[in-house]
Amino acid sequence: MFKVFKVGDFLILAIFSVILFISLSIYLNLPSGDILKIDYQNQTIKYSLNQNKKIDLENLSIEINMGKARIRHSNCKNQYCVMQGWISHINQSIICVPNLFKMTISQNMDAHDSTNY
Amino acid sequence: MTAQTTDIHIIAKLSAIAIVLHTAEFFLPSPIFGLKPGIANIVVLFTYYYFNVRSAAYVSLIRVFISSLILGTFLTPTFFLSFSGAIFSLGCLAIASYCLKSKYFSIYSFSMIMSLGHIVGQFVCVRLFIIQDNGVFFLLPIFIIFAFIFAVINAYIVDKILRVAKSHIKNDKIYP
Amino acid sequence: MLPRQLFKAFFNLLFICLLLLNSSCTKSNFYEKKFLIYGTILEFKFFQTPKKIADEAMSNVIAQLNELNSIFHPWQDSLIEEFNNNPNATICDEQQIQMIKKAFHYEKLTHGYFNPAIGALIKEWGFHADEITKKTPDYSLIEKIVNSRPSLNQLNLKKGCFEKINHYLQIDLGGIIKGHALDLAKAEYQKLNIKNVLTNFGGNIYAHGNPKNRFWEVAIQDPFDQTKILAKLKLPPGSAIGTSGNYEKYFINEGIRYSHLINPKNGNAFSNHSSATVFISPQDEVGLKSDVFSKPFYFSDDLKKTQLDMNFDYFFVTDLNHNIYITKSMLEKIEWLFEEGKYFVQGI
């Protein structure tokens, strides 16, 4: 296998790695969010992530557990959305295409670092 | 039979193999929606080395259309995903074959470029037509990692096949 | 064809890159810590600061605060407490004299609205205690104290020692110590070369540096509801914010809220305003100013006049009837977050 490698391959590999590192560093530096936005049946509902809650919708049930969220059950065929597990970072989302369902984590617009009193 | 018809026969056979591989791959379980090894790309890459970009494009597009008909996903999002992936990956391959000299770039480079093109094509398609949200790009690193792994594995397989093919055909032109 | 060593070297390089990336990621985290010091919350929020240095800074600041408290605590066993209760006592320590001189400087600057010499009044209202108990003061005594016009001016510097001329004079630096603590923290950060940290001591906030790509953002509490937010403000690096409010330490007697902020002009623990918030742009003694400058506006009956007297622009005041009086320059900085119609905002 190593004999086949040529000079240019390392160049391609390097470019590949750079793209990977950039996307990874963006991915790893994501701040955690505090709002779960659910788009379902032409409605947008927002939930706070700082709670323990189970939400039952028509075809799916969602669970929020202290800063992270997941789809617990879904009646879709492939169960991809359930397999995605927990999400907690800003802009992470779980999509269930058969149910036309999307949930995204975002940051509260009122977020602040400290409170003056 | 003329040389040209022989070529067409081979392309048809390769397309058939690609369709079979694509269909088989469809039934493989995957942890994330759309994450697949892309074993049909082995055939496309082989065709590129055996013939040229044009033949590879035939094989790739025939594969996408026919296997989507077989699987019943024709004109569904799944079809458009694999179609845009195939188009981008072929585009990348064409550019690479034009720009990169095989003296310096081996099959691994081409495989990686193709798989990266495939991923980019699929993400562009997803972002434009299916999920209109920038959130999808946060799945990109995972896909790039797997694209890299499968690209290397596929290239290794194609390399082996081409070596066997070379010894059978006794044609030095097809593979260095 | 390349030798295998080069291939290995390349992957080693990649591995090192990955490690570097990893370490740079862990560094970018915020590091927050809260302490309870003499009934006041001290809160730090560090950005991209090594944990060890942050811990060192925090323990240094707390040690200095403990020292300050042992000297200036107005009702627990301290040097100032002794000085207040003994008419013949003197203050001779150079550091304490400097601190008192500093307080006197701000007394002059605020035209006596901030008065560190009215410990006797605060004591008479019953706020010199850990637990606030409802207490009606002896109004004749209050009148006597007010008429004696206590001021740090009435301290005589004799042979390097302060002695008091007015025996009603009692020093209470409670109105300056929070701000002073922020300045101590600022000096500490500069000493340890800490770049980005937000310090909140009892509601007064000092922003040191800023997190990546943004400013520190602070919320201002609603004076009528502690669970709600009145507004939001971005603090540029080196600036501070402070609020004086009647909701912090108070008791209610016959429907009137008596707060621990006592008007030195008339000795009354009552104001027409529920809170006054000031924003201090980056300058020297930014913490002290954030603590002191809110007081004149809290007590003032004529905000325009006080504004001109103080030559200070960044403030807003809420009164007891949900009106907000705000200066033009402050209005540009602030983002209101109260419920629609709860407050009525007007210019000064």
CB contact set of A22 (below 8 Å; sequence gap of 6+): none
Dig out the tokens for C14 from the structure: 């990649």
C2 with A17: Cβ contact below 8 A = no
C229 with A110: Cβ contact below 8 A = yes
**Nearest-CB residue to C200 (from A3, A110, A114):** A114
Q: Is residue C98 part of a domain?
A: no
Q: Is residue C140 part of a domain?
A: no
C-chain residue closest to A17, CA distance: C14
Please, what is the end-to-end C-alpha distance for chain B in angstroms?
Answer: 28
> CA angle, corner C271, sides to C265 and C277, nearest 5?
100
E strand or H helix that includes residue C193: none
Residue C106 has pLDDT above 80, yes or no: yes
Residue C53: domain span: 37-69+174-242+272-347
What span, in angstroms and rounded, lies between the C-alpha atoms of C29 and A30?
A: 10
List chain B domain ranges.
3-169
Q: What is the CATH number of the domain that holds C181?
A: 3.10.520.10
Region B3-169: CATH code: 1.10.1760.20
A6 with B105: Cβ contact below 8 A = yes
Contacts of residue B116 in chain A, CB cutoff 8 Å? 16, 19
B-chain residue closest to A25, CA distance: B141
Is residue B35 classed as helix, strand or coil in its secondary structure?
coil
CB contact set of A105 (below 8 Å; sequence gap of 6+): A32, A33, A35, A36, A37, A49, A69, A87, A88, A89, A90, A91, A92, A93
What span, in angstroms and rounded, lies between the C-alpha atoms of A63 and A47?
A: 11
**Nearest-CB residue to C248 (from A10, A17, A117):** A117
**Cβ neighbours around A16 below 10 Å, total:** 19
**Cβ neighbours around C25 below 10 Å, total:** 14
- CA pseudo-torsion sign B23, B25, B28, B31: negative
**Nearest-CB residue to A27 (from B141, B148, B159):** B141
A6 with B106: Cβ contact below 8 A = yes
Chain A residues bordering chain C (beta-carbon distance below 8 Å)? 2-3, 5-7, 10, 13, 17, 21, 24-25, 28-29, 110-117
Q: A97-101, B22-26, B138-142, C2-6: lowest mean pLDDT where?
A: C2-6
What span, in angstroms and rounded, lies between the C-alpha atoms of C114 and C346?
A: 26
Q: Is residue C167 part of a domain?
A: no
- What are C276-320's pLDDT values in tens digits? 999 999 999 999 999 999 999 999 989 999 999 889 999 999 999
Sheet containing strand C216-222, edge to edge, reads A114-116, C216-222, C225-235, C334-336
> What is the nearest CA distance from A2 to chain C, expressed in angstroms?
7
Contacts of residue A83 in chain B, CB cutoff 8 Å? 31-32
Neighbouring chains to B with at least 3 Cβ pairs closer than 8 Å: A
Q: Is residue C101 part of a domain?
A: no
Among C212, C235, C233, C90, CA closest to C162: C90
Say what the pLDDT of residue B99 is: 87
C-chain residue closest to A5, CA distance: C1
A-chain residue closest to B30, CA distance: A80
Contacts of residue A3 in chain C, CB cutoff 8 Å? 1
What span, in angstroms and rounded, lies between the C-alpha atoms of C143 and C135?
A: 17
A112 with C232: Cβ contact below 8 A = yes
CB contact set of A107 (below 8 Å; sequence gap of 6+): A31, A33, A34, A35, A90
Contacts of residue A25 in chain C, CB cutoff 8 Å? 21, 24-25
C-beta of residue C115 within 8 angstroms of C-beta of residue C151: yes
> What is the nearest CA distance from A48 to chain C, expressed in angstroms?
16
Say what the pLDDT of residue C167 is: 83
Neighbouring chains to C with at least 3 Cβ pairs closer than 8 Å: A
Provide the pLDDT confidence category of residue C5 given band limits of 50, 70 and 90. Answer: low
C-beta of residue B113 within 8 angstroms of C-beta of residue B96: yes
Say what the pLDDT of residue B163 is: 85
How many beta-carbon pairs under 8 angstroms link A with C?
Answer: 76
Contacts of residue A87 in chain B, CB cutoff 8 Å? none
| Position with higher pLDDT, B140 vs B43 | B43
**Nearest-CB residue to A5 (from C2, C205, C229):** C2
**Cβ neighbours around A106 below 10 Å, total:** 17
User: At which residue do the structure tokens 């060593």 appear?
Assistant: C5
Mean per-residue pLDDT for A85-99? Answer: 84
List chain A domain ranges.
1-30, 35-106
Q: Is residue C253 part of a domain?
A: no
C217 with A113: Cβ contact below 8 A = yes
C319 HSE (CA, 13 A, CB side): 14
Provide the pLDDT confidence category of residue C23 given band limits of 50, 70 and 90. Answer: very low
C-alpha to C-alpha distances, C195 to A112, B79, B159, C47, nearest whole angstrom: 19, 52, 54, 8
b/e C253-283 (16+ beta carbons within 10 angstroms → b): eeeeebbbbbbbeebbbebebbbbbbbbeee
Among A110, A108, A84, A109, CA closest to A95: A84
Report, in this order, helix, strand and coil percent for chain A, each rounded to 5: 25, 40, 35
Q: Which CATH number fits domain A35-106: 1.20.58.110, 2.60.320.10, 2.30.60.10, 2.40.30.10?
A: 2.60.320.10
Mutate to test the interface with B, among A4, A22, A74 (most CBs of B within 10 A): A4
Mean per-residue pLDDT for B130-135? Answer: 72
Residue A2 has pLDDT above 70, yes or no: no
Provide the pLDDT confidence category of residue C2 given band limits of 50, 70 and 90. Answer: very low
Q: Which residues on adjacent β-strands are paired with residue C316? A: C277, C326
A1 with B159: Cβ contact below 8 A = yes
**Considering its fold, how many domains does chain C have in total?**
1
- CA pseudo-torsion sign C130, C135, C138, C139: positive
Q: Is residue C235 part of a domain?
A: yes
What span, in angstroms and rounded, lies between the C-alpha atoms of C26 and C48?
A: 9
Mutate to test the interface with C, among A11, A23, A27, A114 (most CBs of C within 10 A): A114
Residue C1 has pLDDT above 50, yes or no: no
